[in-house]
Amino acid sequence: MQADQVVFPDGPACPGWVRVSGEAIVDAGTGPVPDDAGAAQIRHLGEVTLAPGFVDMHVHGGGGAAFTEGTEAARVARAAHLAHGTTTMVASLVSDTIEQLEHQVAELAGLAETGELAGIHLEGPWLSEVRCGAHDPGLLRDPLLADVNRLLDAGRGHVRMVTLAPERAGALEAIRTLCDRGVLAAVGHTDATDSQTRAALDAGARVATHLFNTMPSLHHREPGPIPQLLADPHVTVELIADGVHVRPSVLRMAVCAARGRFALITDAMAAAGHPDGSYRLGPLDVDVVDGVARIRDTGAIAGSTLTLDQAVRFAVTQAQIPLEVAVRAASSTPARALGRADIGRIARGTRADLVVLDEKLSVQAVLHGGRWVE
């Protein structure tokens, strides 16, 4: 297939073509299709942008369903985001009891084993009570290694990322254990100082969970975690581009500071792709009004109702981020963080996951594993 704009792994979006066979991209290039690549058989899609399938490394649900609710609900959430171009996703869980999380992790591991999920993300329960956001503070605790290993064991190798507050007792040892077991350690929901954040990064933490949100604001004498997370060349910086979590000017600032390392995420809860109303986020009641989700009892923002195509569109149209930069932040950057070279890029040998975007950057069609999504 040909398109007027194709987002390749490097350079600006430009005219190009892609050839797919079965589940894989077998060839791709810029400009006209050469005769030896089968020009006569490649269809021109017109004045559209052809992007790699989006990769969401932090999402709690969608389509009215949450990943905490079991296998069938997880499939509903996955389908809702797939329709918006997300061809790979990591299922995020919120803080709960160790017993309940163990059950949820074990169930979602089955979907990771079939390839329906790219892994599981534990956002808690090892978070800061003073930066709990949409987590029940009564469920938060210090990370005991026995609990950490118990949940990783329940995931049968599919727990891909764990967010924790590095200032909690035992957190640095937990980070080292996560790294030893091949799990991404993420800093988030934290009241950490500059030095505590540096210690977490030195221990192996490699992700900043939704930067700016549920952490101290930047202060010139008490900088908190933000400068360390933005400056470290090994850290992938998550950002929620919906205009609610961060303003466009702040998004631009972070993109400049973490060039090539920022990942657009949704942090979406069940209401993504669904109407306003009452929902649940783990054990907490959530009200969604005008597309903004808040915990009923506290008014805290409860994730988002975002989809990744909306995040890309916001980044481009509201924050004036170049199209190819925004697309890579929703595809190749999170794929790289997850250690997945087979997704998130339009390149020979990668999985045939493609998103067709119109001139307004709305999704026209989605190709997943070589098949068009209906």
The DSSP secondary-structure symbol of 205 reads -
- Is 26 strand, coil or helix? strand
The CA distance from 305 to 274, in Å, is: 8
The CA distance from 122 to 139, in Å, is: 14
List the domains of the chain with CATH numbers: 2-50+357-372 (no CATH), 54-341 (3.20.20.140)
Per-residue pLDDT averaged across 137-166, rounded?
Answer: 98
> Is the whole-model pTM more than 0.85?
yes
Per-residue pLDDT averaged across 113-128, rounded?
Answer: 98
- Is 3 strand, coil or helix? strand
**Class of residue 3 by CB neighbours under 10 A (exposed 0-12, middle 13-18, buried 19+):** buried
Binding-site residue set:
123, 189, 210
Task: Give the catalytic positions in this structure.
Answer: 267
Q: At what angle do helices 248-257 and 308-317 cross, to 10 degrees?
A: 90
Per-residue pLDDT averaged across 101-106, rounded?
Answer: 98
Strands 14-21 and 2-6: antiparallel
Binding-site residue set for Zn(2+):
123, 189, 210
The answer on pLDDT for 337 being more than 70 is: yes
What's the pLDDT tens digit per position in 256-314? 999 999 999 999 999 999 999 999 998 899 999 999 999 998 999 999 999 999 999 99
What's the pLDDT tens digit per position in 29-57? 998 887 665 555 678 898 999 999 999 99
Strands 277-281 and 284-289: antiparallel
Neighbours of 47 (CB within 10 A): 10
Percent of the chain at pLDDT > 90 equals: 94
Element at 20 (helix H, strand E): strand 14-21
The CA distance from 233 to 254, in Å, is: 13
Mean pLDDT of the chain: 96
Neighbours of 37 (CB within 10 A): 16
The pLDDT value recorded for residue 41 is 64
